[in-house]
């Protein structure tokens, strides 16, 4: 089992950093000291290795880190503190792996991350200093997946970001106010389950344009038109929102659809005589934006197509019980292929996936195994030059990775999705720009930055992410 940052930190700080001779008690309680005689760390040893509860200290006597080992492995909550005694990090472990919540404390926010078997899973939430939510995003197997929400200091959602396997596929700014506190632009209000309840546009704090209301399943239930916050009762295009039902001669439902006047809006379902949904369409202002079966519970099934507002095809593939399966293709607004790949029967990406620029040139190539990145990852610029390359194992970066970010080149190694070992950055002239080592993504040891002419720009010493010099 790989050593964690805490293991290495403890060994470095307790066994080797001291400048005076210490006698190690291989089975019993040990204390280690700084050169001035102050305690640097203390805890139990068993068979010559740290076990049980340990503490390490700053040179001013304040506790730097404390936590427990069980059978030599990190266990339960480990806590880290700055030199004033203020907590900076808490990590929960089980059998040497992160399991549960990791909290990072910063001046302007607190970050709560959830881990399972050392992999980030579920919600990661950033909090403002007063405890209100600042940002939330869902993780699956270490990658962002689904919708992220960003909040202002009053608790209002101001940005919606959609992720697909760690990549941003859509971003929408909503619920914004101007410097005078007036609502401007697109606003959305939500149910507790995250579904949109109401959406519409504000101008100078007044409703202007169409406002739509939905039920908790996402079905459109009403549309109203406002001008300067006054509801237009006689708006010809909104005389009535009709839910129209057609029937077979035997009285069974044939079609159900909603309309604004005579223009389809929302979901329209077509039923077979046995009551099964045989086709469904989603309309916006009379245009089909999605085509495929949605049952009465809102579950998608069978062949599906989704469209841009102008009618251009956006995506196509198959659903089974609400999961994408088989081959799927996604398209740019100019109808050129944007992304293609396969989903397995569980709805997880599987096999080789490819992304394209809107001129059809290859942007990225990546392989998946049951939803986790697995194998070589390569990303290209618009001229076909490799800008990122490395390998994933079980959804996490592993081994040597190389990046070409603008005029700067970076290279270094990952272990378990975190930077471990030496990393180097280079200017476009090949001159070294940075050199330093990391342990589990935390700066460790000597870090040096250089100017383009090779002269030293800055340097610092770190222990497990904490700058010590």
**Mean pLDDT for the chain overall:** 88
Q: Is the pLDDT of residue 464 over 50?
A: yes
Question: What tens digit of pLDDT does each residue of 235-260 get?
Answer: 666 555 678 999 999 999 999 998 88
Q: Is the pLDDT of residue 467 over 80?
A: no
Q: 54-61: long-range contacts at Cβ-Cβ below 8 A with a sequence spacing of 24 or more?
A: 54/10, 54/14, 56/9, 56/10, 56/13, 56/14, 58/83, 59/34
Name residues whose C-beta falls within 8 Å of residue 233's C-beta, 6 or more positions apart in sequence.
Answer: none
Any idea what DSSP says for residue 12?
A: I
Give the separation between CA 327 and CA 318, rounded to whole angstroms: 8
Pair 175, 187: CB distance under 8 Å:
yes
Name the range with the highest mean pLDDT among 22-31, 384-393, 457-466: 384-393
Give the separation between CA 89 and CA 113, rounded to whole angstroms: 11
Q: Is the pLDDT of residue 261 over 80?
A: no
Strands 263-271 and 143-144: unpaired
- Write down the residue that tokens 């251009």 correspond to: 312
Q: Is the pLDDT of residue 407 over 90?
A: no
Tokens of 343: 């989903």
Q: Is the pLDDT of residue 9 over 60?
A: no
Q: Specify the pLDDT at position 80.
A: 94
Q: Specify the pLDDT at position 405.
A: 81
* Segment 16-36 mean pLDDT: 73
Pair 161, 168: CB distance under 8 Å:
yes
Give the separation between CA 103 and CA 100, rounded to whole angstroms: 10
Q: Specify the pLDDT at position 35.
A: 87
Q: Is the pLDDT of residue 202 over 60?
A: yes
Which pLDDT band holds residue 22 (cuts at 50, 70, 90)?
low
Region for residue 166 given its phi and psi (left: phi exceeds 0; alpha: psi -120 to 50; beta: otherwise):
left
Q: Specify the pLDDT at position 112.
A: 96
Which pLDDT band holds residue 19 (cuts at 50, 70, 90)?
very low
140-177: burial string, b at 16+ Cβ within 10 Å, e else = bbbbbbeebbbbeeeeebebbbebebeeeeeeeebbbb
Beta-ladder partners of 142? none
Question: What tens digit of pLDDT does each residue of 370-401 get?
Answer: 888 999 999 999 999 999 999 999 888 999 99
Of all residues in the chain, the percent with pLDDT exceeding 70 is: 92
Question: What tens digit of pLDDT does each residue of 74-124 get?
Answer: 999 999 999 999 999 999 999 989 999 999 998 889 999 999 998 999 999
Question: What tens digit of pLDDT does each residue of 39-53 get?
Answer: 999 999 999 888 999
Pair 386, 370: CB distance under 8 Å:
no
Report the C-alpha dihedral over residues 412, 417, 418, 419, rounded to 10 degrees. Answer: 0
Give the separation between CA 143 and CA 189, rounded to whole angstroms: 27
Q: Specify the pLDDT at position 13.
A: 43
Q: Specify the pLDDT at position 461.
A: 85
Pair 61, 84: CB distance under 8 Å:
no
User: What is the model's pTM?
Assistant: 0.55
Pair 211, 235: CB distance under 8 Å:
no
Q: Specify the pLDDT at position 254.
A: 92
């Amino acid at each position: 089992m790989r050593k964690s940052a805490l293991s290495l930190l403890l060994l470095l700080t307790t066994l080797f950093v001291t400048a005076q001779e210490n006698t190690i008690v291989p089975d019993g309680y040990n204390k280690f000291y700084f050169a001035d005689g102050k305690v640097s760390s203390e805890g139990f040893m068993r068979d010559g290795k740290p076990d049980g509860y340990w503490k390490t200290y700053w040179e001013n006597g304040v506790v730097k880190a404390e936590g427990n080992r069980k059978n030599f492995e990190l266990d339960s909550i480990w806590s880290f503190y700055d030199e004033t005694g203020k907590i900076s990090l808490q990590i929960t472990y089980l059998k040497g792996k992160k399991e549960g919540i990791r909290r990072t404390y910063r001046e302007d926010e607190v970050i709560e991350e959830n881990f399972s078997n050392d992999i980030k899973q579920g919600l990661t939430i950033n909090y403002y200093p007063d405890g209100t939510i600042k940002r939330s995003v869902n993780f699956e197997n270490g990658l962002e997946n689904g919708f992220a929400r960003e909040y202002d200091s009053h608790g209002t959602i101001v940005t919606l970001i959609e992720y697909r396997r760690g990549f941003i596929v859509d971003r929408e700014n909503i619920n914004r106010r101007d410097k005078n506190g007036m609502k401007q632009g697109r606003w959305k209000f939500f149910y507790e389950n995250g579904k949109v309840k109401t959406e519409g546009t504000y101008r100078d704090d007044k409703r202007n344009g169409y406002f739509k209301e939905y039920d908790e399943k996402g079905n459109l239930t009403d549309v109203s038109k406002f001008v300067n916050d006054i509801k237009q009762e006689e708006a010809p295009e909104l005389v009535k929102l009709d839910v129209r039902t057609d029937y077979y001669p035997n009285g069974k439902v044939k079609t159900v659809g909603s309309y604004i006047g005579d223009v389809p809006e929302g979901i329209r379902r077509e039923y077979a005589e046995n009551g099964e949904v045989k086709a469904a369409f989603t309309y916006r202002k009379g245009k089909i934006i999605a085509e495929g079966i949605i049952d009465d519970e809102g579950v998608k099934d069978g062949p599906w197509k989704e469209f841009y507002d102008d009618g251009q095809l956006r995506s196509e593939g198959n659903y089974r019980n609400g999961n994408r399966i088989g081959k799927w293709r996604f398209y740019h607004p100019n109808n050129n292929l944007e992304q293609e790949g396969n989903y397995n029967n569980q709805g997880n990406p599987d096999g080789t996936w490819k992304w394209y620029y809107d001129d059809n040139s290859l942007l990225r190539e990546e392989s998946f195994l049951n939803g986790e990145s697995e194998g070589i990852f390569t990303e290209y610029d618009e001229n076909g030059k490799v800008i990122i390359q490395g390998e994933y194992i079980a959804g996490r970066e592993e081994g040597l990775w190389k990046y070409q970010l603008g005029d700067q080149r970076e290279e270094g190694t990952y272990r378990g999705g975190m930077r471990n070992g030496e990393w180097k950055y280079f200017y476009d002239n090949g001159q070294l720009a940075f050199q330093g080592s990391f342990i589990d993504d935390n700066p460790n040891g000597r870090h040096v930055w250089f100017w383009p002419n090779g002269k030293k720009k800055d340097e610092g010493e770190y222990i497990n992410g904490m700058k010590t010099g």
